[in-house]
Amino acid sequence: MLIVEYLYLTRYTMGLFPFFHDKQMWTKVLEEDGEIIVKQKPMEIIEQSCLYYGASLRGRKDGARHIIGTSHKAPIAIEPTNEIFFFPTISPMNPQCVWLSHLHIRHHEHVQGGKTRITFSNGKSLEVCISHHSFVNQLHRTAQLRTKMNERIEARERKMMYLLYLREKELS
């Protein structure tokens, strides 16, 4: 298994799973085509990925609060134009928090013991310690954020096309 010092999230990243290695918290990153061990905490990867794509984590949290009105366990739009939206399974302050990519969730079902079985876009399934009710709530919050941000991006693009059309018409 590949072990790296840092990693930026991409549209091929499916989830971040914390684990302890020699009393240090590291992250198992589930990608479409395999797993990578990163010598960072999941929150560090989230934070650095936001910065890599040109925004702060605080700004992304504030944006989510403004757009969908939630601040508790808010989904994060790491990079909306590439549809990189992640949501936490529990409070991000909890060291056991798992982060999941909304783009890659294909199926989910209740499992005994307050867990949820998730099937990802690549067919891989695993159980996560989150009640099915909470999982569905987080999934819906993220879908709401994703939809509203996509609508705003598309509206901006339509407006630009219209302005370009008017400009061309004016020049001809």
DSSP 17-30: EEEEETTEEEEEEE
DSSP 115-130: EEEEEETTS-EEEESS
Query: Which residues, in sequence order, are bridge partners of residue 117?
Result: 109, 127
Residue-wise pLDDT tens digits, 142-165: 999 999 999 988 888 888 887 887
**Is residue 169's pLDDT more than 90?**
no
Residue with tokens 């010598």: 39
CA distances 41 to 11, 24, 26, 54, 65, Å, are 19, 9, 5, 20, 24
Nearest 5°: phi and psi at 48?
-70, -30
> Who contacts 105 (Cβ-Cβ below 8 Å, separation ≥6)?
118, 119, 120, 121, 139
DSSP 45-76: HHHHHHHHTT--HHHHHHHHHHHH---TT--E
pLDDT at 25: 96
pLDDT at 164: 82
pLDDT at 172: 75
Q: Which of 34, 24, 40, 25 is nearest to 1 (CA)?
A: 34
Sign of torsion over alpha carbons 67, 131, 93, 122: negative
Q: What is the mean pLDDT of residues 37-44?
A: 97
